[in-house]
Amino acid sequence: MLKNKHILIGVTGGIAAYKMPLVVREFKKAGADVKVVMSESAKEFVTPLTLSTLSGNEIVVGTFPDQNTNVLSASTWHIKLSQWADVMLIAPATAHTIAKLATGYADNAVTTLALAIRCQLVIVPTMDVDMWHHPATQENVVKLREMGCVIVPPETGELASGLTGEGRLPDVPIIVNTVKGVLRNAHRDLQGKKIVVTAGPTYEPIDPVRFIGNRSSGKMGFAIANAAAQRGSDVILVTGRVSLPTPRHVKRVDIESAAQMHRAVMKYSKNADAIIMAAAVADFTPAKPSHTKIKKERVHSTSFSLELTRTRDILLDLSEKKYHGILIGFALETENGIRNAQQKLGEKKLDFIVLNNPLQNGAGFGSDTNIVTIISKRGKIEKLKKMSKFDIANELLDRVAKNF
Secondary structure class of 205 (helix, strand, coil): strand
Rule CB under 6 A: say whether 329 interacts with ligand CTP.
yes
Distance CA 83, CA 110 (A): 15
Task: Establish whether 214 is a catalytic residue.
Answer: yes
Q: What angle do CA 130, 136, 142 make, to 5 degrees?
A: 105
Q: Which stretch binds ligand CTP (CB under 6 A): 88-96, 325-333, 371-379, 384-392?
A: 325-333
Cβ at position 257, least distance to ligand CTP in Å? 11
Q: Which of residues 220-279 bind ligand CTP (CB under 6 A)?
A: 258, 277, 279
Nearer to ligand CTP, 156 or 334 (CB): 334
Q: Which of residues 336-355 bind ligand CTP (CB under 6 A)?
A: 344
Binding residues for ligand CTP, rule CB under 6 A, total 14
Rule CB under 6 A: say whether 326 interacts with ligand CTP.
no
Rule CB under 6 A: say whether 314 interacts with ligand CTP.
yes
Dihedral of the CA atoms 269, 275, 280, 283 (nearest 10)? 60
Rule CB under 6 A: say whether 102 interacts with ligand CTP.
no
Nearer to ligand CTP, 21 or 201 (CB): 201
Distance CA 2, CA 30 (A): 6
Q: Which of residues 276-305 bind ligand CTP (CB under 6 A)?
A: 277, 279, 281, 283
Rule CB under 6 A: say whether 44 interacts with ligand CTP.
no
Distance CA 308, CA 317 (A): 20
Which DSSP category does 360 fall into? S
- Is residue 356 within 8 Å of residue 278, measured between CB atoms? no
Cβ at position 2, least distance to ligand CTP in Å? 38
Distance CA 337, CA 358 (A): 11
Rule CB under 6 A: say whether 400 interacts with ligand CTP.
no
Rule CB under 6 A: say whether 320 interacts with ligand CTP.
no
Rule CB under 6 A: say whether 147 interacts with ligand CTP.
no
Active-site residue, from 214, 340, 357, 403: 214
Helix ranges (H only) for 85-171 are: 95-103, 109-116, 129-133, 135-146
Cβ at position 294, least distance to ligand CTP in Å? 25
Among 315, 341, 345, 392, binds ligand CTP (CB under 6 A): 315
Distance CA 32, CA 28 (A): 5
Helix and strand numbers (H, E) in the chain are 13, 22
Rule CB under 6 A: say whether 331 interacts with ligand CTP.
yes
Distance CA 25, CA 266 (A): 52
Nearest Cα neighbor of 266 from 201, 211, 330, 317 is 317
Rule CB under 6 A: say whether 144 interacts with ligand CTP.
no
Rule CB under 6 A: say whether 12 interacts with ligand CTP.
no
Nearer to ligand CTP, 46 or 275 (CB): 275
Q: What angle do CA 271, 272, 275 make, to 5 degrees?
A: 150
Nearest Cα neighbor of 75 from 87, 83, 67, 86 is 67
Active site residues: 214
Residue ranges that bind ligand CTP, judged by CB under 6 A: 258, 277, 279, 281, 283, 311, 313-315, 329-332, 344
